[in-house]
Amino acid sequence: MSKANQSSVSGSSNQSMSQSASRSRRAKASGTSRRTQQVIDREKGSDSLIKVLDPDTKEDRTPLSLLRTATKPTKGGKKPVGESTASGSQYSEADDRSMSRVGESTESDSTTNKSASQSMSEGDDMGMDGVLGMDGESTETGSMDSRQLDSGTKKPGVVKKAMTGEDEDDQDRKPEKKEMTYEEKRAWLAAPCQISLTETPTFFLLDRADAQIAIDSEQAGTVTARNEEYNRLLEMKQANASKYSERSAQTFNNPHKNKETQFAKYESTKQGVGVTTWEIFDTMRRLEEEDDDSDGGPGENVEKTGEEGEGEVGEMDDETNAFLDAMGGDDGDGGDAADVSKSKRNAWMLSPALGHALMIMERMVVQNIWQGEQLLYRNVNLEDPFKAQPNDNEVGSPTRKRRTFEEEQEAKELEEKEERERLAREAEERALEAQQLRVLWRYGCPVVKGQNVTCTAWNRHNEDILAVGYGAYGNNSSNVNKNGYVCCWSLKNPVYPERIFKIENAGVSSVDFSSNHPSLLAVGHADGALALYDVRKAGNAPILKSTVSGGQHTGTIWQCKWVLKGKDRGESLVSIAADGRVTDWSIKKGLECTNLLRLKRVPNKQQGMTQLKGDALLSRQSGGMCVDFNPTERILYLVGTEDGTIHKCSTSYSEQYLETYAGHAGPVYRCKWSPFSSDVFLTCSADWTTKMWRQDILEPVLTFQSLPDAVHDVAWSPSVSTIFGTITSTGRLDIWDITNPIEPRTWMEFEGRSLNCLSFAEQGSPVLCVGDNKGDVTVIKLKGQEYNAPAGDQGTPEYQEERLLRYVKKSLAS
């Protein structure tokens, strides 16, 4: 047959050809016009790709040629598919095509198949109906293998019912292997073909699980409402089917297109910032201040909130410039650039913080050296862990190596020498330890070097501060330098005083710190003037000074003293001078004085004067050298005169003395009440002696003398009632104990100096300071427990007083 010219696209085409051939044979054999539908049953996994089943009996009618395995022969007597072209529209063409298909190329075949399968696979009932209708009219489809060809396309969800049709050829199913004639083939081809389609496995394209919500959740209400709404909609839809129509749309997937761009790579660097608590704090404060400051411009704010030092330096500009001009002027004709650079370099020196920083720095530097002594001053006897032991480095173990005989000899000698030295040093140290007086340091500086120290006074409030007055005694024409100085020294810096006040043309002869106003310093001059200084300020000018018209003294003020007048009565300043007046100064309005007393000469029996008559007296007044107020009865005071008499006076009597104590042969330089007992006082004078008195006895109780030298000063120890010290003009310092009036307990001799003033420090530790005529004030510590304030019962003032009085009595008794 011409139809045999089929190029086989798929293997089935051959089969189809042969199938069609066999069909036509069968159709011819049957000779009936009965259409038979062949059921093409595609079985899974069967070797034969298609099977032809009889629709009625379900017998297998697969043509033998199709089967690899033997099956039942198909019935013959089927009309060829091509003949029964009374099918529906879609199949008429198909039939035509299928008729021509046998001999044609597979394209038509495939198209037929495709169209058929497509029609079938559209899955609509119409197609099926059409097919069925066709079958009813004994249509046949030649697309028996269409299903098989399109099996790859996998049309989903298509459930094809097996098309049943007439099959009157059941009984003719006999395997007829004889070749069909053309007519048979045609008949077979035209015979209705039954195609049975079965369900494919289900492909799930969309799987949407139910969302379940708990009844008591918030959304339950809305969800239930929505559900009910939907149900209603469904019902409505079913009820009013006419209102709803279904439409479908197809969305287009836009084709994608790739587009490339290029951009420059971002350079990245890593940066880290560490933030500390204080940075945050500073930033916050700066922001707050910027908010607050609404007046000044941003520049000022920056200055204010920024470094204070800078701002303040900026304020001092005109001063700075003025001074820097002066400084820069030293360069001479240096260009402006040089001045500017120099001023910039020196700008740090004008910082206000510098002064304070330098002061502290100096103290620290001093402390590094003098710490041991400073601690001893405070009576803290601790082994300073920071002070390096210089001996550690010196004594090292010499490396032992073989030496020659000479070398060994030398080494031996060297060792012996070292040994001797070490012993000597240790002996020295022991001797030093054994001494009861130990020099701590010396207050002195080049400014006052060589000046005569006349007086010292401790500050009542801060006992580290010592005021020292410098001035020449008398009118030494050789001493050109007539200036006086007052220096305030601090324990913390023995190198340089904290304050230096310079007094022109007058030496200082007496100083005293006030108790009520601790920064007030009274200075008595050698020319009789009295000045008051405030040591808080550094200037040279006193805050108050007595004037000649104001009644100042006409002679050297030998002693000035602040006296507490008792509670709520304030303090008064009392001075005694060579003009014989004891005056009381008040500072309420300037410096006003009131004469407490005028010292009248009293015949000194010691000097053999029985009466005043007969001698040409220079003056009826005698100069007063010292004054001391009774610690308990403030109205009583002692006055020592140049004549050697001591007077006990009262502030209520300005004309007469209460008592007169005669005993000294020379001017009484100092008289001092005992700090423990208000009955006992000491006096020292130029007659080489120190005498102790009791106020009710007109004769001295005890006399102390060590050397034939004028005793310039005497001072009680503030911690032990029986100890006192004296200094002489030949540089000797004696520490006496009342219990032994013959010999001082200990002494110290200063070479080549005359000692002028002595005072005990009233702090816890027994330290005393001695001023000499070379401008130095030496601070000496009294070592030894006996000088410390005794503890316990013995330390009470009452006990001390009692002890003192006991000794006095004992001395009297003897």
Partner 1 sequence: MADGEGAPRRNKAAETMATIDATLKRIAAHKGVLGYIVVNPRDNSVIKHVGMHDDHELIAKYAQRVLAFVSLTRSVVRDLDPLNDLTFLRLRSKQHEIIVAPEWDFVFMVVQDYHISTKEELAKIKVKPKERPREPQDQDNKEASEGVTENVEA
Question: Which of 687, 709, 713, 801 is in the footprint of partner 1 by CB under 8 A?
Answer: 687
Distance CA 105, CA 112 (A): 11
Distance CA 169, CA 36 (A): 6
Contact 375, 368 (CB under 8 A): no
Nearer residue to partner 1 within complex by CB, 322 or 423: 322
Q: Does 708 bind partner 1 (CB under 8 A)?
A: no
Least distance (Å) between residue 807 CB and partner 1 = 9
Nearer residue to partner 1 within complex by CB, 204 or 278: 278
Least distance (Å) between residue 487 CB and partner 1 = 14
Q: What are phi and psi of 426, to 5 degrees?
A: -65, -40
Query: Which residues make beta-bridge pairs with 218?
Result: none
Least distance (Å) between residue 342 CB and partner 1 = 11
Positions in 292-311 near partner 1 (CB under 8 A): 307-310
**Of the listed pieces 87-95, 195-203, 218-226, 739-747, which binds partner 1 according to CB under 8 A?**
739-747
Instruction: Kindly state the tokens that stand for 440.
Output: 């701590």
Alpha-helical segments (H) within 293-389: 298-305, 308-315, 317-328, 336-345, 352-377
Nearer residue to partner 1 within complex by CB, 387 or 417: 387
DSSP state of 180: P
Nearer residue to partner 1 within complex by CB, 741 or 764: 741
Question: Which of 64, 132, 359, 544 is in the footprint of partner 1 by CB under 8 A?
Answer: 359
Question: Which of 64, 327, 602, 805 is in the footprint of partner 1 by CB under 8 A?
Answer: 327
Least distance (Å) between residue 307 CB and partner 1 = 4
Query: Which residues make beta-bridge pairs with 645?
Result: 662
Q: What are phi and psi of 363, to 5 degrees?
A: -65, -35
Of the candidates 102, 103, 106, 98, the one whose C-alpha atom is nearest the C-alpha of residue 9 is 106
Compute and round to an integer the Cα radius of gyration of the chain: 68
Positions in 533-552 near partner 1 (CB under 8 A): 538
DSSP state of 57: T
Least distance (Å) between residue 351 CB and partner 1 = 5
Question: Which of 5, 554, 739, 796 is in the footprint of partner 1 by CB under 8 A?
Answer: 739
Least distance (Å) between residue 743 CB and partner 1 = 7
Nearer residue to partner 1 within complex by CB, 165 or 700: 700
**Quick check: helix, strand or coil at residue 689?**
coil
Distance CA 412, CA 423 (A): 16
Q: Does 289 bind partner 1 (CB under 8 A)?
A: no
Question: Which of 32, 559, 689, 719 is in the footprint of partner 1 by CB under 8 A?
Answer: 689
Helix 11-30 vs helix 106-121: angle between axes, to the nearest 10 degrees?
80
Spell out the residues 6+ positions from residue 807 whose beta carbon is closer than 8 angstroms to its own: 722, 738, 739
Least distance (Å) between residue 364 CB and partner 1 = 5
Least distance (Å) between residue 774 CB and partner 1 = 11
Question: Which of 701, 711, 723, 777 is in the footprint of partner 1 by CB under 8 A?
Answer: 701
In the chain, the amino acid numbered 792 is: G
Instruction: Kindly state the tokens that stand for 315.
Output: 């304020």
Q: How many residues belong to the site for partner 1 (CB under 8 A)?
A: 85
Q: What are phi and psi of 134, to 5 degrees?
A: -60, -40
Question: Which of 254, 277, 294, 477 is in the footprint of partner 1 by CB under 8 A?
Answer: 277
**Of the listed pieces 192-200, 214-222, 411-419, 734-742, which binds partner 1 according to CB under 8 A?**
734-742
Distance CA 684, CA 686 (A): 7
**Of the listed pieces 32-40, 212-220, 632-640, 749-757, which binds partner 1 according to CB under 8 A?**
749-757
Q: Does 343 bind partner 1 (CB under 8 A)?
A: no
String marking each residue 484-523 x if it binds partner 1 according to CB under 8 A: -----------xx---------------------------
Least distance (Å) between residue 595 CB and partner 1 = 31
Alpha-helical segments (H) within 38-105: 89-101
Positions in 431-450 near partner 1 (CB under 8 A): 431, 434-437, 439, 441-442
Residues found in the chain: 814
Q: Does 37 bind partner 1 (CB under 8 A)?
A: no
Positions in 387-416 near partner 1 (CB under 8 A): 387-388, 390
Positions in 639-658 near partner 1 (CB under 8 A): none
Q: What are phi and psi of 159, to 5 degrees?
A: -110, 110
Question: Which of 2, 341, 740, 794 is in the footprint of partner 1 by CB under 8 A?
Answer: 740
Residue with tokens 């012996």: 416
Of the candidates 476, 470, 475, the one whose C-alpha atom is nearest the C-alpha of residue 454 is 470
Nearer residue to partner 1 within complex by CB, 231 or 703: 703
Nearer residue to partner 1 within complex by CB, 785 or 814: 814
Distance CA 97, CA 107 (A): 10
Least distance (Å) between residue 473 CB and partner 1 = 23
Q: Does 345 bind partner 1 (CB under 8 A)?
A: yes
Question: Which of 207, 218, 318, 568 is in the footprint of partner 1 by CB under 8 A?
Answer: 318
Least distance (Å) between residue 759 CB and partner 1 = 18
Positions in 561-620 near partner 1 (CB under 8 A): 606
CA distances from 664 to 182, 473, 600, 618 (A): 182, 22, 17, 21
Positions in 160-219 near partner 1 (CB under 8 A): none
Instruction: Kindly state the tokens that stand for 352.
Output: 């206000």
Q: Does 320 bind partner 1 (CB under 8 A)?
A: yes
Least distance (Å) between residue 648 CB and partner 1 = 17
Distance CA 666, CA 228 (A): 134
DSSP state of 217: S
Least distance (Å) between residue 693 CB and partner 1 = 9
String marking each residue 361-390 x if it binds partner 1 according to CB under 8 A: xx-xxx-xxx-xx------------xxx-x
Spell out the residues 6+ positions from residue 533 whose beta carbon is closer than 8 angstroms to its own: 486, 501, 520, 521, 523, 542, 543
Spell out the residues 6+ positions from residue 543 whose beta carbon is closer than 8 angstroms to its own: 532, 533, 534
Strands (E), 146-268: 195-196
Distance CA 600, CA 319 (A): 57
String marking each residue 751-790 x if it binds partner 1 according to CB under 8 A: xx-------------------------x------------
Instruction: Kindly state the tokens that stand for 313.
Output: 């330096």
Instruction: Kindly state the tokens that stand for 735.
Output: 């520490």
Q: Does 10 bind partner 1 (CB under 8 A)?
A: no
Question: Which of 561, 691, 712, 781 is in the footprint of partner 1 by CB under 8 A?
Answer: 691
Question: Which of 674, 746, 756, 800 is in the footprint of partner 1 by CB under 8 A?
Answer: 746
DSSP state of 240: T
Nearer residue to partner 1 within complex by CB, 118 or 436: 436
Nearer residue to partner 1 within complex by CB, 255 or 274: 274
Q: Does 332 bind partner 1 (CB under 8 A)?
A: no
In the chain, the amino acid numbered 244 is: Y
Least distance (Å) between residue 606 CB and partner 1 = 5
Q: What are phi and psi of 710, to 5 degrees?
A: -65, 135
DSSP state of 36: B
**Quick check: helix, strand or coil at residue 700?**
coil
Question: Which of 11, 742, 785, 793 is in the footprint of partner 1 by CB under 8 A?
Answer: 742
Least distance (Å) between residue 401 CB and partner 1 = 28
Nearer residue to partner 1 within complex by CB, 132 or 698: 698
Least distance (Å) between residue 277 CB and partner 1 = 5
Instruction: Kindly state the tokens that stand for 483.
Output: 């200036």
